[in-house]
Amino acid sequence: MKGVTSAAHGEALPVLKKRFAMGILPAMAQAKGWIMDKPEGLTVTADGQLILVTDNDGVDDAPGETQLINLGPVSRLN
């Protein structure tokens, strides 16, 4: 990441600024079923697609399924 300096174990860690990039709830609701409560990760594919992964850990009140949701091209976040 541009402008970020790593730190050794025990040293002060860099603090990064956050900014709102997009709301993910509409994409999660498109399946018209259970809206997962815990988005757990994001990745960018080789062709530039932003993928959200959910995991409900198989708890009693959830279906326990994992979903991969394509949020579209990562370029839309710039």
Please, which contacts does 39-47 make with residues 24 or more away whose CB atoms are closer than 8 Å? 42/71, 44/74
pLDDT at 51: 94
**Domain regions of the chain by residue span:** 25-77
Predicted pLDDT of residue 62: 65
pLDDT at 78: 67
Give me the phi and psi of 25, to 5 degrees please.
Answer: -60, -45
Task: Give this prediction's pTM.
Answer: 0.67
Identify the pLDDT of residue 55.
77
Nearest to 72 by CA among 52, 55, 58: 52
- The Cα–Cα gap between 54 and 73 comes to 19
**Running along the chain, 78 residues long, what does each successive block of 10 average in pLDDT?**
87 89 85 74 94 78 78 87
pLDDT at 76: 86
Output the pLDDT for position 63.
66
